[in-house]
Structure 1
Amino acid sequence: MEPQQNRGISRVLEKLRNSIRSGEYYEAHQMYRTLYFRYLGQKKYNDLKNMLYEGCLLLLDADQKGSGADLALLLVEVLNQSEDKECAIWTPKLSTIFLKIGRNNTTERDAFLVQVFKWTSQNSSQGNAPFHQSIAKIYWEELNYSQARYHYVHSQDGKACAKLLIEFQMVEGYKNEVDLFIAQAVLQFLCLRNQITASQTFNTYTEQHPKIKKTGPPFLLPLLNFIWFLLQAVETKKLQTFAILCEQYQKSLQRDPCYVQYLDKIGQIFFGIRPPQEKRSGGIFGSFLDSFIGSLDEESDDDLAQGQQKPSTSRQPIENSDLD
């Protein structure tokens, strides 16, 4: 019975292929949708997924972007309904679909991407890292630097991310933003708890960017030194070092208002700093540093209770020559 059923499916697929080759795109699209509902009701998920994937590619290759994208969305629905968790198998195929939909069909492409990431997020709230990496490469090839950067930050490919950032900075950035491009990326990696890729990205960027003199660390740009020290502090998880760094480099960190928010999150993740309860005097940065000092005071009280002496605040001086 099963071989006969497979022969029937093969005949249907061949008929659909011939319809597309003959230019009968509308008829083929409607037949795919009819079979979608039929197979879905019969829970023939594997046959349905393979059929939709092939039909999607055939229509996209025939420049029927709307119909192809429609089948692509149906494919993702089936992946969800069948509870298929084989990301390693399907994400390369979904990346191919994304590429073939093309940059000129942003509405269909974006809708498809949103649904795919919902499906890949079943195992991780940040989505599937290899899929992010594949999408980043496609955007990079299309010179869509901002989107490529976003997806690389959610991947685990620090070397490629750094190379993208170098090109992005040199093509669209200002001369005085060499350090800003890498600083923001590293801070975002750390907020995503991805310190390994953060370090890999920073090292590759500072080693290969032609505008960064190969003398560091220490670097000529203070913000690069801050990031380098921060990565060391994250490794050791020493709260006092983190607090001192943020205080000593306050001027550099004020170049981008987002840095305080990133560092607040990093402090909570890696150093156990409590979230700020309210705004205090001195603006957002003053409140930020006050939360460090409060955490340090608590840490010192615990140490003293155990008969251990440690500095109680972040106010212990560091030589500027050691930091800049």
Structure 2
Amino acid sequence: MSASKLEKTLARVKQRIADQQFYEAHQALRTVAARHIKAQQYDHAIELLYHGAQQLLQAGEGGSGGDLARYMVDTYKTAKVPVNIESRLQVVTLFDLFKPDEPRRKEYIQDVVQWSGSNGDVKYGDPELFHIFGSAFANEDSPYEAEKFLLLGTKDSPVVLANMLFEWFSEDPSAYTVSFYISRAVLGYLSVGNIRDAKKSLDVYIPQVISSGRLGTNHQTATSSIGDTITVFPEYPLLNFLQLLIAVCQRKDADLFRRLRFRYKTELKDAAALDEALDRIGERFCGIQVRNQGNILSDLMGSFFAPAQSGNASVPQIQNSDLD
């Protein structure tokens, strides 16, 4: 298809949309795109589907526009289009046009995750796309959805995640739960082997907690017995535990890991839902074998789109369904 012919086709579709002939526009685009795909003219098909989806989504036709957006990503898969600047821009442009409550949006995201995982440079999907999706969910106050993407995002993702968790904690009347919120980030990142972002999330979260004044003034900087500088909170021991856990994981010392869990066994007993995550972390960093261990990344991807389980809203502990 020449550039002029493509422009004419899109102009006709645009006119149909302007005349509110949405069904006709949708069907025409699908038919022409299918013809190009059959002829292996994938670039032409993608161009038609991209612009057609844009126009329909801008017209508020989430169902028809979403269908064409999904068809575009399906064509990416068929044509083995890589994740690059151009394809990422197309994906994000269409994502931004979906209304948050549009059912096709979730399906579109799932298609993008599958495509980016099979054709990108990273096995489980494109971190930049994950960061964009996760940030959008964070802005929409959908923390369970946001964290699933941010845990596999970019170096900027832990900042977004920590800020979201602090805002969540700020709405909680109980200061006791301060550790449970940030444990979602720390244990989540450590479970996927990401020490850098586990530490970054704490580095962002703790100063905000201190500045809020909700924990009082009973805290101080100290050097731990293994030589790391941490902020000690005598009344909130799990915050101390999370800081020390990162230090132990950096050392990959199985004996230190066991001693740390034993030292905080009383506090961890009150947060039993953390056990599975700690088992996985111990196996990943210290080689401590635990039976029936799954692959955390595969589990994360496998249940990206399972219904969120909120559990006890006042104590958002890490649960198997939240990590996986």
Q: Deviations over 1:19-62 (max 9, x none)?
A: 21222211111101101210101111112112211111110110
Tell me how far 1:275 sits from its aligned partner.
2.4
Q: Secondary structure of the residue that 1:273 maps to in structure 2?
A: coil
Letter in 2 for 1:70: D
CA contact 1:40–1:48 (8 Å) conserved in 2: yes
Tell me how far 1:88 sits from its aligned partner.
3.9
Q: Does 1:56 align with 2:53?
A: yes
Q: Identify the residue that residue 105 of structure 2 maps to in structure 1.
A: 109
Distance in 2 separating the partners of 1:131 and 1:151: 9
Distance in 2 separating the partners of 1:118 and 1:231: 31
Tell me how far 1:269 sits from its aligned partner.
0.9
Q: Deviations over 1:205-246 (max 9, x none)?
A: 111222355634122311011111111111111111111001
CA contact 1:149–1:165 (8 Å) conserved in 2: no
CA contact 2:158–2:185 (8 Å) conserved in 1: no
Q: Deviations over 1:96-150 (max 9, x none)?
A: 3223221222x31211111111111124343221111111221122222222233
The 5 Å alignment of 1:74-153 reads 74-105=71-102, 107-122=103-118, 123=120, 124-153=122-151
Tell me how far 1:169 sits from its aligned partner.
1.7
CA pair 52-170 structure 1, distance change in 2 beyond 3 A: same
Q: Identify the residue that residue 154 of structure 1 maps to in structure 2.
A: 152
Is the helix fraction higher in 1 or 2? 1
Distance in 2 separating the partners of 1:83 and 1:264: 38
Letter in 1 for 2:255: Q
Tell me how far 1:175 sits from its aligned partner.
2.7
Q: Which has the higher contact order (CA 8 A, sep 6+)?
A: 2
Tell me how far 1:277 sits from its aligned partner.
7.5
Matched length = 274
CA pair 119-205 structure 1, distance change in 2 beyond 3 A: same
Letter in 2 for 1:72: A
CA contact 2:73–2:112 (8 Å) conserved in 1: yes
Distance in 2 separating the partners of 1:188 and 1:143: 19
Letter in 1 for 2:247: Q
Letter in 2 for 1:215: Q
Q: Identify the residue that residue 310 of structure 2 maps to in structure 1.
A: none
* Unmatched runs of 5 consecutive residues or more in structure 2: 222-230, 294-324
Distance in 1 separating the partners of 2:35 and 2:170: 53
Q: Identify the residue that residue 276 of structure 2 maps to in structure 1.
A: 261
Q: Does 1:218 align with 2:205?
A: no
* Unmatched runs of 5 consecutive residues or more in structure 1: 279-324
Letter in 1 for 2:137: Y
From 252, 259, 274, the counterpart of 2:267: 252
- Given the two structures, how large is their TM-score scaled by the length of structure 2? 0.79
CA contact 1:92–1:131 (8 Å) conserved in 2: no
- Given the two structures, how large is their TM-score scaled by the length of structure 1? 0.79
CA pair 62-172 structure 1, distance change in 2 beyond 3 A: farther
